[in-house]
Amino acid sequence: MAELVKNTANITTVNVEEELTPPWKEAWQSFCKNKLALVGLGIVIFFILLAFIAPSVAPYSSTDQNLVERLQAPSGKHWFGTDDFGRDIFSRILYGARISLWVGFFSVLGSVILGTLLGIVAGYYGRWVDAIISRCFDIMLAFPSILLAIAVVAILGPSLQNALIAIAIINIPNFGRLVRSKVLSVKQEEYIMAARAVGMKDTRILFRHILPNSISPVIVQATLAIATAIIEAAALGFLGLGAQAPTPEWGKMLSDSKQYLVQAPWTLFFPGIAIMLTVLGFNLMGDGLRDVLDPKMKQ
């Protein structure tokens, strides 16, 4: 009898521990089961670390020119070779990681903040507020994203900061419509109706109850949007509308080296590989987060 009671107590303890498992811990355990997502996370962490330690790791300055060593092939002295101004490509890629990640993170952060605010207001209040905001989103989405970004940069002027603003603007509708659709379903829940019935203010309902229950798809979309933002920043840099010389931005490096494709292919290969790996890392990580946070994927 004593052994039976002991076993019953152990089973009860295990059940209680499983019930008390924090949601974030459960999500992390599910994320760790996805090997590709872990590979993506590893790639992202690797490039973030490179961006932070670039000044300590880079063997040369990213802007110093040495025309005597221009267009040298990869060697022990210059691991990734040199460009048409004799600048070390390895050092420029390390510093370029800081720029590309900075543009990716902060442009998406701006899109998330503005898009979430507009989406939550449109979904909660509805009627003419929803109509105006939704039509603005539809108009922006009617244009190809890169063309809209080019138009914004053309108005503001070519620079890295203006490219960041342009990328943030073109991604606002994506987050706005995502949040709006989520709010439309969440606001019909009984606990929201109860909060209204007791006279709770709209701002408290929005930011205490609706927003926390609508944020999961935003996290997934933001992770994937960073990858898109890095590509868009590289595209604007390639067109001469983003970072300006001698800034070591990966897209600008591709643009400056395109005429040496046959003579010095390494000048295009290594920046292109850096863009590809970074985008791949964020995409794999975003897919893993979607599998963890999306209830439909769980089912």
- DSSP sequence for 107-156: HHHHHHHHHHHHHHHHHHH-HHHHHHHHHHHHHHHTS-HHHHHHHHHHHH
The letter for the amino acid at 36 is L
Q: d(Cα 232, Cα 170) in Å, to the nearest integer? A: 10
Q: d(Cα 117, Cα 181) in Å, to the nearest integer? A: 13
Burial zone of 135 (CB within 10 Å; 0-12 exposed, 13-18 middle, 19+ buried): exposed
- Stretch 278-284: mean pLDDT: 91
The letter for the amino acid at 177 is R
The residue among 23 and 235 whose pLDDT is bigger is: 235
Helix (H, G, I), strand (E, B) or coil at 66: coil
pLDDT more than 90, % of the chain: 18
Taking phi over 0 as left and psi of -120 to 50 as alpha, with beta for the rest, 230 belongs to: alpha
Q: d(Cα 206, Cα 201) in Å, to the nearest integer? A: 9
Q: In the chain, where are the structural domains located?
A: 42-55+81-298
The class (CATH top level) of 42-55+81-298 is mainly alpha
Q: What's the pLDDT tens digit per position in 185-229?
A: 887 777 777 777 777 777 777 777 788 877 888 888 888 899 899
Q: What's the pLDDT tens digit per position in 148-160?
A: 899 899 888 888 8
- pLDDT value at 296 more than 60: no
The letter for the amino acid at 293 is L
- pLDDT value at 114 more than 90: yes
Most confident of 126-130, 138-142, 189-193, 199-203: 138-142
* CB atoms near residue 113 (< 10 Å): 13
* CB atoms near residue 239 (< 10 Å): 17
- pLDDT value at 232 more than 70: yes
For the chain, give the mean pLDDT: 83
Q: What is the pLDDT of residue 112?
A: 92
Cis-peptide into 59, omega within 30 deg: no
- pLDDT value at 90 more than 60: yes
Task: Report the range of poorest mean pLDDT among 15-24, 163-172, 205-214.
Answer: 15-24
Q: What is the pLDDT of residue 106?
A: 92
